Structure 1
Amino acid sequence: MQSIIQIESLSKKYKNAEMYSLNNVSLNINEGQIFGLLGPNGAGKTTLISMLCGLVKPTSGHFTIDGLDYQHHASKIKKIIGVVPQEYALYPTLTARENLLYFGSMYGLKGSDLKDKVIETLDLLGLLKFADKQVQTFSGGMKRRVNLIAGILHNPKVLFLDEPTVGVDVHSKTAIIDYLKVLNQNGTTIIYTSHHLAEAEDFCSQIAILDQGQIYAQATPSALIESTKDARNLEDVFISLTGKALRDDI
């Protein structure tokens, strides 16, 4: 299986920070995988994703996405990736349709192709009848689904998801996960972060567990469980590797 993301000795130390947020991480993510990046608060997940998306500059190290070097091809990389942040990246006073037409145009989509894509995805995620309602009137689950659509209108080769089902009802969660599985089956590689370990165990084909800026383990969910003493599920593996200490921070 061919690697679509290659990460070599990637590190990040923020200005005035005492410790590295990410420390000498190397990782290959294969094309077509649903790859889970899991870890406690402050583990380095957000820093790693932010670097891969071009939002944060590495302190050292190197990575490529689909063979494109981030140092020389950042603009090309941005065209082939989709990003769905945990926070809603939507304009609350615009309708769902208006939001999606705007974000689609930002990716270079236009005309009937964009309009048809918006209608198609709203329909697939059960939102077509609400297309012309303001997003500020939507429930959390509805906003989460619109947020997802905004990141995939341009059919990205790689999709980054940060807590895609946080704070949603079970029906919205099911709709989101089912849609993501279809995207993956159609060729989109998915990089996923979440604190929902049971969801990750079922959803991901490969998982890396990060803590203190380093990768502690990487394998399929079943292999991680089998290789961890007395582990019954991914949560047991997670606790075994990262400990039980609280990770509160301010």
Structure 2
Amino acid sequence: MNSLTGSEVERAERSELYAQRQLASFARADASAAEVAKAFYVTRNAKLPRAAIEFRFDEEIAGDGYWPLVGGFGAAFESYISSLRNLEAVRRSTSVVKGLTDNHLEAFETVRSSAAALDRLGWPVNWEQNVQKILETTDLGVRKGKLVSRLDDLPEYTTLSEEMLLLGSLTFYHQDRVQGEEPRPFRPKSLTSHSRQFEGITMHLCQRSDRVPDRFRYCSEWLEGKGGRTFRIAI
């Protein structure tokens, strides 16, 4: 049986130490995975304006790993950047008084189509966040994939998710009521991975009979909550 040389023993010890450190690192990553997922839910939510461009593929693509190499990607990415620049140029050169113009609509459709081209190549991008960032100083926003005015032609009904995307916000308001008592004041609530069950709630344009503060334009009906309470949301 051959004995190990001094250099081989040293290398084995270094390898063992490296493996121990790797195991500890993996254990920490696994333990923090839930918290990281919560943070990503906020930063990657399309309702939050964001100037950064993120390619969004969370799972390996069959045969390509995480980094699919496809012809035309460079040109498609350049086209996407160009479309964002054009939308920003239109926003800068158009008076806010004019509201939604044909130039806005044309530039927006170019962004959306160039993002779709990247998606088809296997590189989906956070285009809604990028559009919201460009337009956050205007009264324009995205509703159901279309560019619309935040102030005009408001639908009678919408969902919390749709209204948040339009406003570029992750904050809404929540109110509790116990049977036989006056409703508690509205409290601000942030949309996180814990509160995402509220996203699909249908809301209607506020009426005087709803008795909600004037700062809200949409509110929900009273809904069944926990512990025999009812609640509603507003934004």
TM-score calculated relative to the size of structure 2: 0.31
Higher Cα radius of gyration: 2
TM-score calculated relative to the size of structure 1: 0.30
Structure with higher helix content:
2
Structure with higher strand content:
1
